[in-house]
Amino acid sequence: MVYVDGFAGPGRYSGGEDGSPIIALKALAAHGRKLQSVFEFHFVERDRRTVDALTANIAALRDEGLVVPSTSISVHPRQSVEEAYDQTIAPRLAQTPGAPAFALVDPFGWTGIPMRIMASLMNRSSTELLLNFMFEEINRFLSHKDQPENFDALFGCPDWRKADTLSGHARKNFLHDLYRDQLRRAAGARYVRSFEMLNDRGASDYFLFFATRSLLGLRKMKEAMWRIDPAGGMRFSDATNFNQQVLFEPKPDTRLLRRMIEAQFSGTRATVRDVELFVLEDTAFHAGHYKKVLKEMEGTGHLTPVSPPPKRRAGTYPDPDLTLDFAARHSPLSLTD
Ligand X SMILES: C[S@@+](CC[C@H](N)C(=O)[O-])C[C@H]1O[C@@H](n2cnc3c(N)ncnc32)[C@H](O)[C@@H]1O
At residue 253, the 3 state secondary structure works out as coil
Residue 212 carries which DSSP code? E
Q: Does 44 bind ligand X (CB under 6 A)?
A: yes
- Residue 107 CB, shortest distance to ligand X, in Å, is 6
CA–CA gap between residue 301 and residue 326 (Å, rounded): 9
Please list, in sequence order, all residues whose beta carbon lies within 8 angstroms of the beta carbon of residue 106, skipping any fewer than 6 positions away.
Answer: 5, 6, 7, 9, 20, 131, 132
Task: Please give the residues from 109 up to 138 whose contact with ligand X meets the rule CB under 6 A.
Answer: 112
Choices 43-51, 154-162, 223-231, 252-260; region in contact with ligand X by CB under 6 A: 43-51
Residues contacting ligand X: total by CB under 6 A: 16
CA–CA gap between residue 12 and residue 53 (Å, rounded): 8
CA–CA gap between residue 143 and residue 86 (Å, rounded): 29
CA–CA gap between residue 286 and residue 246 (Å, rounded): 12
The radius of gyration of the chain from alpha carbons, rounded to an integer in Å, stands at 22
- Residue 210 CB, shortest distance to ligand X, in Å, is 15
CA–CA gap between residue 184 and residue 191 (Å, rounded): 7
Sketch the per residue contact string, 67 through 106, with ligand X: x for CB under 6 A, - otherwise. Answer: -----------x-xx------------------------x
Q: Which amino acid is at 178?
A: L
Residue from the set 47, 52, 86, 137 that interacts with ligand X by CB under 6 A: 47
Choices 39-47, 116-124, 204-212, 222-230; region in contact with ligand X by CB under 6 A: 39-47
Which CB, 8 or 275, lies closer to ligand X?
Answer: 8
Instruction: Give the DSSP H/E element, type plus range, for residue 14.
Output: none
Choices 46-54, 204-212, 251-259, 325-333; region in contact with ligand X by CB under 6 A: 46-54
Sketch the per residue contact string, 140 through 159, with ligand X: x for CB under 6 A, - otherwise. Answer: --------------------
* Pair 220, 207: CB distance under 8 Å: no
Residue from the set 2, 3, 4, 9 that interacts with ligand X by CB under 6 A: 9
Residue from the set 24, 39, 43, 50 that interacts with ligand X by CB under 6 A: 50
By CB under 6 A, name the binding residues for ligand X: 7, 9, 19-20, 44-47, 50, 78, 80-81, 106-108, 112
